[in-house]
Chain A
Amino acid sequence: MSSETKQILTTDGIPLEVSLKKAEKKNKIKAFLLVAPLLLFLIITYIFPIGEMLFRSVDDRMVTNMLPKTFKAMEKWDGKELPPEEVFEAFYLDYKFLVEEKTFGKLATQLNYEKNGFKSILKKLQRKMKKFEQGNYKEQIMNVHKRWANVEYWRAIKRRAPDITYSKYLKAMDMYENEDGKISQVSEDRRVHRILWLRTLEIAFFVTILCFLMAYPIAHLLATLPMKYSNLLMICVLLPFWTSLLVRTASWMILLQQQGIVNDFFVWIGLVGEENRPEMMYNKTGTYVAMTQILLPFMVLPLYSVMKTISPSLMRAGKSLGGTPFVAFWKVYFPLTIPGIGAGCLLVFILAIGYYITPALVGGASGTLISNQIAFHMKSTLDWSFASAMGLMLLTGVLVIYWIYNKLVGVDNIKLG
């Protein structure tokens, strides 16, 4: 009774607390409705397709759907010796259907990923099959090519029976599942992907370091100079930032070519002879130089925005308390710039790890990154599930860094220009 009398009521007679909650809920819904269109748009066109990549990278129903009878017959086969007649018959019927549907080429491509040599024997089978007689398919198929009598090939087919496979992820790490179902490494001369992953990390790491070393002094200069000079110098940072990536890459291609200006300069100062001008493009050097210059503004801007807030009197105080300028810098100024360093380094690293255009143009064979491999499989080999698998592995790495960035800096603190 007493609590009711104390309750404050609005003019409508509703308790204030309830009314306030209602109003807050209304505001929440209002705010959310404003964000909803963009969120929905991104979910449909962007987040959902990324999820589809995950699905594609493990989905293996293509072969399952192409050879339904074979896999059913194979269920009872233990895989030790050559499969029995029923499997051969089922395979013959499945394949005959695929030939009639004219989709047998796809099967050849898929099985060839599993084991080399399938393409030619499937083609041969397709030619010879027209003359097959009813019954005893095992003998007839085995007569087409001696590989059909090799149990390894039948095991390879059986390995494609499950709907889901993680073989693409193993392949991206230069590993595979061998005949016994054990995960093993591919032979040393074929380990291409691991080199690419390591190179991507290495280049992203060193580009970040280089950017940091170059950006720190100029961000400091920009932050300490009087406005009218710093505005002018800021243009040197912002003009490359706003200029097309391809234009900047093109200018590096001109500068770094063998008869280019950088080489001319080296010859002129006598660093190298006219005859042996070094190759600076189409290798790692090209990638390093071009990427560092292109990503430098992304390091300068966060550093600058942090340094701008540091009062110069702090350094003066440090010096007046007996520190040499170096001590004052190291003990006072540098620790205050750490947030900017973190933001800049993470941003540059995230951008560098997924770089595609510049390495593709100036990187040659030894300067390309994992992104180039993804593009290669999307456009040339058309192995989209493999491209998706590598893309998701890269994405996982980036999202981890993004998460750290979000914790340390906060995405709403990203500043542009």
Chain B
Amino acid sequence: MALPKYTETRYRIWHYFYLFICTCVFFFLIAPLFVIFPLSFNAEEFLVFSDGMKRLDPDAFSLRWYKDMIYGTKNPWGLATKNSFIIATFATIGSVILGTVAALGLSSRHMPYKGIIMATLISPMIVPLIISGVAIFFFMAKAGLAATHTGIILAHIVLGTPFVVITVTATLSGFDHSVTRAASSLGSDPVNTFMKITLPLILPGVISGGLFAFVTSFDEVVVVLFLAGLENTTIPIQMWTGLREQLSPTILAVATCLIVLSTLILVTAELLRRRSERIRGINR
């Protein structure tokens, strides 16, 4: 962003002011995440930087909160982690299957009432979570699925499918349908065509939709608050309880692990997006 030599001084000043503003906003976006790292290694119980930490004294840092997270007595994180992964995995599988199939139908130019159906399928993403939570709770209570894993998984499928529908329809919009016609004309049946031709081509979109569904389920707390019993506690529920009652450094240790996890997911999603763009580029 080098300025041309002939730029007048006032525009030069304005330009540096603009860069300064941008720096501030980027700092505002990203800096809060980095507060958590050092504090999770705090040797003391308080959530402030101790004098020792400011002097970078090695004694002021410790792994005690990570130990507490894993080995602590009566700690709920083990069960919560297990539940979170089980629920998110099944919810992702369900969302991906239902969402991908629906996206295939929606991208067909023969689809009737496309607008209203699309709006309905996306609605769980738009409707405030608290309302979704109340509605789904009424349903699950009636169906006898409150406080069960099944109930929470079904609820998360509802919340996850819009992401899959959006990403897969986006991928399909650049899809060259002549390849499937070619496959059919060579004698392939529709299922075979989908598995061998369509799916490999739209896979990046499917996987990134799946990642969104996974993160949605893994991070979701409002609906689970209504549905979960003691046995179904998840990581977000435990964090919510912890943050409401007492902010302990153990929560920061968990939060650090979650940031590492989300970084991994971000990298995967980014690589997939680029791959998808490359594949579609070749198709054109």
Contacts and interface: CB of A to CB of B under 8 A. Distances in A.
Interface of A: 24, 27-28, 30-39, 41-42, 44-50, 52-53, 56, 214-215, 217-218, 221, 224-225, 233, 235-240, 242-255, 257, 259-261, 293, 296-297, 325, 350, 353-357, 360-361, 371, 374-375, 378, 384, 387-388, 391-392, 394-395, 398, 402, 406, 411-412, 414-417
B149 to A, nearest CB: 15
B157 A354 contact: no
B26 A218 contact: yes
A259 B262 contact: no
A374 B104 CA distance: 37
Contact of A261 (B49, B111, B124, B126): B49
Contacts of B117: 35, 39
26 contacts: A27-B110, A30-B108, A34-B102, A34-B108, A35-B101, A38-B101, A39-B120, A41-B157, A56-B138, A214-B25, A217-B22, A218-B25, A218-B26, A239-B262, A242-B215, A246-B219, A249-B243, A251-B32, A251-B33, A257-B47, A293-B28, A360-B244, A402-B126, A406-B119, A414-B122, A415-B170
B102 A244 contact: no
B134 A53 contact: yes
Interface string B118-147: 111111101111111011111100000000
A293 B29 contact: yes
Contacts of A28: 110-112
The residue among A56, A242, A374, A392 with the most chain B CB atoms within 10 A of its own CB is: A242
A250 B243 contact: yes
Contacts, number: 262
Interface string B36-51: 1001000000011100
Contact of B269 (A217, A218, A253, A417): A417
Contacts of B30: 236, 239-240
Place the interface of chain B in its size category.
35 or more
A316 to B, nearest CB: 11
Nearest to B158: A46
B130 A354 contact: yes
A246 B239 contact: yes
Interface of B: 1, 11, 18-19, 21-22, 25-26, 28-30, 32-33, 35-36, 39, 47-49, 98-99, 101-102, 104-106, 108, 110-112, 115, 117-124, 126-132, 134-139, 154-155, 157-158, 161, 163, 165-167, 169-170, 208, 212, 215, 218-219, 221-222, 225-226, 236, 239-240, 243-244, 247, 251-252, 255, 258-259, 262-263, 265-266, 269-270, 273
A322 to B, nearest CB: 15
B110 A361 contact: no
B33 to A, nearest CB: 6
Given A46-B158, A254-B39, A416-B166, A53 B102 contact: no
Nearest to A256: B32
Contact of A398 (B112, B127, B170, B222): B127
Given A221-B1, A244-B236, A246-B240, 7 more contacts: A24-B110, A38-B99, A38-B101, A250-B243, A255-B32, A255-B35, A293-B28
Given A31-B105, A242-B215, A414-B122, A250 B251 contact: yes
The residue among B105, B129, B263 with the most chain A CB atoms within 10 A of its own CB is: B105
A361 B222 CA distance: 13
Contacts of A360: 244
B1 A242 contact: no
Nearest to A260: B48
Contacts of A248: 32-33
